[in-house]
A and B are shown apart, each in its own frame.
Chain A
Amino acid sequence: MNADPNHRGVKVSVRGLRKSYRGQEVLKGLGFEVQPGEVFVIMGPSGSGKSVLLRHLIGLESPDAGEIRIGDEPVSCAQTMHKYRLAMVFQSGALLNSLTVGENVGLYLAEHRTQSPEEIARVVSDKLAVVGLKGTEDRMPAELSGGMKKRVALARALVMEPQLILYDEPTSELDPLSAVVIAHEIVNLNRRIGVTSLVVTHERALAFGIAQRIAVMDAGQVLVTGTPDEIRRCGIAEVRKFLNADLNLVTKTQPS
Chain B
Amino acid sequence: MNMFQSIGEVFVLGWRTFLALPLAWRHRRKVFDQFFEIGNASLLMVCILSFFIGAVLVLQSGPVLVERGLANYVGGMVGITMCKELAPVMISVLIAGRIGSAMAAEIGSMQVYHEIDALRTMNINPVHYLVLPRMLALALALPMLVIFAIMVGWLGGAIVAASNLRIAIPMRPYFETMREIVEVGDVANGVFKSFCFALIVGVICCHQGMDTIGGPRGIGRSVTKAVVNSIIMIVILDYVLSRLLLE
Residues on A lying within 8 angstroms of B by beta carbon are 55, 58-60, 81-82, 86-88, 90, 92, 94-98, 107-108, 111-113, 156, 160
The 9 closest A-B pairs by CB, nearest first: A94-B118, A94-B114, A88-B121, A108-B122, A111-B124, A90-B114, A96-B115, A58-B121, A60-B117
CB proximity of A116 to chain B, nearest CB, Å = 15
CB proximity of A220 to chain B, nearest CB, Å = 21
Q: Using a CB-CB cutoff of 8 Å, which residues 119-147 of chain B contact chain A? A: 119-124, 129
Is B122's CB under 8 angstroms from A160's CB? yes
Tell me, yes or no, whether B113 is within 8 Å of chain A by CB: yes
Q: Across the A-B interface, how many residue pairs have beta carbons closer than 8 Å?
A: 49
Residues of A within 8 A of B113 (CB): 92, 94, 97
Is A60's CB under 8 angstroms from B120's CB? yes
Is B117's CB under 8 angstroms from A96's CB? no
CB proximity of A90 to chain B, nearest CB, Å = 5
- Label chain B's interface by main secondary structure: helix
CB proximity of B74 to chain A, nearest CB, Å = 48
Residues of B within 8 A of A94 (CB): 113-115, 117-118
Residue in A59, A96, A108, A112 whose CB lies within 8 Å of B110: A96
Is B110's CB under 8 angstroms from A107's CB? no
A-contact 0/1 string along B84-116, CB 8 Å cutoff? 000000000000000000000010011001110
Residue in A59, A98, A107 whose CB lies within 8 Å of B122: A107
CB proximity of B38 to chain A, nearest CB, Å = 16
Residues of B within 8 A of A96 (CB): 110, 115, 118-119
In the complex the two chains form, what is the Cα distance from A60 to B110 in whole Å?
15
In the complex the two chains form, what is the Cα distance from A87 to B54 in whole Å?
56
Residue in B119, B121, B124 whose CB lies within 8 Å of A87: B121
